[in-house]
Amino acid sequence: MSCLWYFRLIISFCLSGYVLCQCRAGWKYHAGMCFYFSDEKKSWYEAAVNCRTHRSSLVVVNTHDINTFVVNQINRHGGSYWTDGTDDFQEGEWEWPSSGQLFNFTNWYHGQPDNHHSQGEDCLAIHAQHSSTWFDDQCSLKQKYVCYESSIQDGGFVIG
């Protein structure tokens, strides 16, 4: 076999390794970030703690691009997923607590947020069954969740 063939083989392994190593196992890469879509259901608070335990945070959906990526993944899996969004600190003032930013992009379902339940609906979930739009839900509800972090190339961490 020619040297060129071996060179191509080595390059293809290196490139495939580069792509595979951007995120840890079970996470999905997009735009310099790694995303984890849980199968287990937790309250918003439990989900936030679980993400922090893995050196990440609940996903901040502050751009159309991130929303499109997250929505496409949620549509594949189905169900409802917690994000980092909340108005728990100031009713009606939605923010991403992991970054301290107020919402500058939204994708609310018609009539949302509505704070429907008497106990309050202070946490943001994306519901696949409603065209993957945003809903305010009770933070105590058990739902799937999305964590995210910087990719390994961008200084993210590898655990486990």
Number of structural domains the chain divides into: 1
Tell me, what's the pLDDT at 119? 75
| Residue 159 belongs to some domain of the structure | no
Q: What is the pLDDT of residues 73-98, one digit of tens each?
A: 999 999 999 999 999 999 999 999 99
Sign of the C-alpha dihedral computed for residues 81, 83, 89 and 90 taken in this order = negative
CA pair distance 108, 24, nearest whole angstrom = 31
| Residue 99 belongs to some domain of the structure | yes
| Residue 28 belongs to some domain of the structure | yes
| Residue 160 belongs to some domain of the structure | no
Which CATH number do you get for residue 101? 3.10.100.10
* Structural domain span for residue 110: 3-154
Q: What is the pLDDT of residues 102-156, one digit of tens each?
A: 999 999 999 999 988 767 899 999 999 888 899 999 999 999 999 999 987 555 4
Residue 19 structure tokens = 């792509």
| Residue 101 belongs to some domain of the structure | yes
